[in-house]
Amino acid sequence: MKRGRYFYMPGYSMKFRSIILPVMLLVTVGITGCDQTGKKANEKPADAAANSASARPDAVSAAKLDLYSQAYKVMMSGQTSLRPSYEGFVARLENTRNNEEILYISGGRLEYALELFRQGYAIHGGDMPELDRNVLDVIDAGNSLMAKRAGQEPIEGNQKENDSPDRATDGTSPLPSGYEALFAAMDRMETLLFKYRKSESEKRMAWFKKAGNSLGFYTERSLAEAQDLLALFIASKNAINDSETYDKGDLVLSSLEESLAAQRRAYVNARSEEVEGLENYPAVYRVLTSMAGSYRDLRQNRTLSDLSALNKKYNEAIKANNRVSMLIQ
């Protein structure tokens, strides 16, 4: 006999809906009743299950955080993301030849990240004012950079210092304010995402524990501990060479692996009970187990590339875990 998703308790049904995009889910359950300006959206008839879902803690926050996290990853991860594109921009400027174009962050990539930020910001509620305000700063800085990028012409050889309208007279690189404003906003974004994800994880763990949902609880705890592990290296630029950081990291890793083992046991038990909707859990387990291996590589090699791999695995785990659907009956 098939039972509801994730966990079964006599007399307690937990059949969850699966979704693809958080925004689609929000329309379904009616938690996008207003945008951030307070303007009413088109209202849909809401059944009892939808009302129950919207009342659950963290459904709105989960949707916003998932979109903001995805936007952050798009903008800050990869070879054509913000930092590599700026460094390449500066390097190309120094060696520009006739008719060569200066490289920027991929326009499509930046536009996509900004659109995800807009989608998250348009969701009313979530009680994360600092994060929402910073998202507006990111959007403003990103729009400004896109406008400058669109207006920038290829710089020709010996005239590159004189003909670039955005070039400072002291010979510094053009568009520094456009990039620097976006860097500053994204640095704040990283700190705020960590802060609010930690807070939401604590609330979600309390809710899963109260509901008797061991699979949801240990999945959330594993993700929270993975963030704690990554946060050790975000706090300081010299952390990858600090032995004390690895002492703390080893303790977090031990707890993370215990949580992953418990999550795996809960998953196996749920499968044996023919619980439905378990698709995301093996991926979360697999990616976080790989992240543990990335931490060990970092501890041994202490390189920025290993730290980048650790960060990448964490973001993959966030993406693999459909946090919104777990809260919807």
The overall average pLDDT reported for the chain is 74
Tokens (6 digits) for 294: 């990335």
Tokens (6 digits) for 290: 């790989």
Per-residue pLDDT at 328:
43
170 Rama sector, left if φ>0, alpha if ψ -120 to 50, beta otherwise: alpha
User: In 3D, which of 87, 17, 24, 94 has the Cα closest to residue 56?
Assistant: 17
Tokens (6 digits) for 164: 């670039």
Residue 220: Cβ within 10 Å count: 27
Q: DSSP letter at 175?
A: S
Residue 48: Cβ within 10 Å count: 8
| Residue pLDDT, tens place only, 126-181 | 889 999 999 999 999 999 888 876 655 433 333 344 444 344 434 444 455 678 88
3-state secondary structure of 234: helix
Per-residue pLDDT at 278:
85
Residue 221: Cβ within 10 Å count: 23
pTM, entire model: 0.69
Contact by Cβ (8 Å): 50, 28 = yes
Percent of the chain that is helix, strand, coil (3-state, to 5) = 70, 0, 30
Per-residue pLDDT at 95:
64
Tokens 């659907």 correspond to what residue? 325
Contact by Cβ (8 Å): 109, 81 = yes
Contact by Cβ (8 Å): 227, 194 = yes
Return the bridge partners of 34, or none.
40
The contacts of residue 105 (CB under 8 Å, 6+ apart) are 75, 80, 81, 82, 85, 86, 145
Number of H helices, E strands in the chain: 12, 0
| Residue pLDDT, tens place only, 291-326 | 999 999 999 999 988 998 998 899 889 888 865 455
Query: Which parts of the chain register pLDDT below 70?
Result: 1-58, 78-80, 84-85, 88-107, 149-177, 322-329
Name the residue type at position 244.
E
Tokens (6 digits) for 18: 């699966």
Q: Residue 81: phi, psi to the nearest 5?
A: -80, -175
The contacts of residue 107 (CB under 8 Å, 6+ apart) are 146, 149
Please give the biggest Cα pair distance in the chain.
Answer: 79
Contact by Cβ (8 Å): 10, 217 = no
Residue 164: Cβ within 10 Å count: 20
Per-residue pLDDT at 221:
96
